[in-house]
Homo-oligomer: A and B are copies of this chain.
Amino acid sequence: MKYRIVIADDHPIFRNGIRDIINGLAWAEVVGEAGNGLDAYKTIINQIPDLAVLDLEMPMLSGLDVCKKILSEKHFTRFIILTMHKEKHFFDEAMNIGVMGYLLKDNAIDELLTAIRTVKEGKQYVSPLIESYLTVHQAVQQLPDGFKELHATLTPTEKVILKLIAQSKTSQEIADNIFISPNTVDNHRANITRKLKLEGKNSLLKFAIQYSGML
């Protein structure tokens, strides 16, 4: 029995490349492809492959969202995330969710094969480039000290509102957006501000804009 793999990436050319590489192997085969997150989910549920190679950024559902959904449904499919994002928080989240591999799209083709082989043997594979990049940039990339823990204390609704604030929407606009009272939005603002230990006028807006990349 060949090692059954599903691949998902919203760039058809990239998907093509991956498919050819995998199908060139004697011991593996591509049993499904998808161009967006939702299709990826459906394909994986249908096929229950041994491995899914997912792009991080995809329409409908992100690669990580797909991972989360599948893993929460207790299937044994393993995941390799293929991305161009070097950012620590993506990597951290992927590791937390429990992906088995994480590599950059600008890595060599050989690395993808090595990763697949490593994951097939039940081990985790992380691109050495990522590791070195993170160690070099960790000081820079870690700016909001303890932010991760603070962010974890936010409720789902609060996170949504924080994102909308980062888009520099007013309380009224946010209220219209998610169909609640502007007063409630103000309440959430106050709660978020307290949890993030901010103070002063516009402090939340400043924070949201500045760290909108990692929310």
User: Nearest chain-B residue to A14 (Cβ)?
Assistant: B14
A209 contacts the other chain (CB 8 A): yes
User: Nearest chain-B residue to A167 (Cβ)?
Assistant: B206
What's the least CB distance linking A200 to chain B, in Å?
A: 8
User: Nearest chain-B residue to A19 (Cβ)?
Assistant: B17
What's the least CB distance linking A10 to chain B, in Å?
A: 5
Our pick among B13, B105, B201 for the contact of A21 (Cβ within 8 Å) is B13
Q: How far is the CA of A14 from the CA of B11 in the complex (A)?
A: 9
Q: Which residues on B sit within 8 Å (CB–CB) of A106?
A: 10-12
* A interface residues, tally (CB under 8 Å): 26
Main secondary structure of the interface of A (DSSP, over half): helix
User: Which A residues from 97 to 127 make CB contacts under 8 A with B?
Assistant: 105-109, 112
Judge whether A14 and B17 touch: CB under 8 Å.
Answer: yes
What's the least CB distance linking A26 to chain B, in Å?
A: 19
User: Which A residues from 174 to 215 make CB contacts under 8 A with B?
Assistant: 201-202, 205-206, 209-210
Our pick among B13, B170, B205 for the contact of A14 (Cβ within 8 Å) is B13
User: Which A residues from 1 to 47 make CB contacts under 8 A with B?
Assistant: 10-18, 20-21
Judge whether A12 and B108 touch: CB under 8 Å.
Answer: yes
A142 contacts the other chain (CB 8 A): no
Q: How far is the CA of A112 from the CA of B14 in the complex (A)?
A: 13
Q: How far is the CA of A202 from the CA of B205 in the complex (A)?
A: 9
Q: Which residues on B sit within 8 Å (CB–CB) of A15?
A: 17
What's the least CB distance linking A11 to chain B, in Å?
A: 5
Judge whether B205 and A109 touch: CB under 8 Å.
Answer: no
A168 contacts the other chain (CB 8 A): yes
What's the least CB distance linking A15 to chain B, in Å?
A: 8
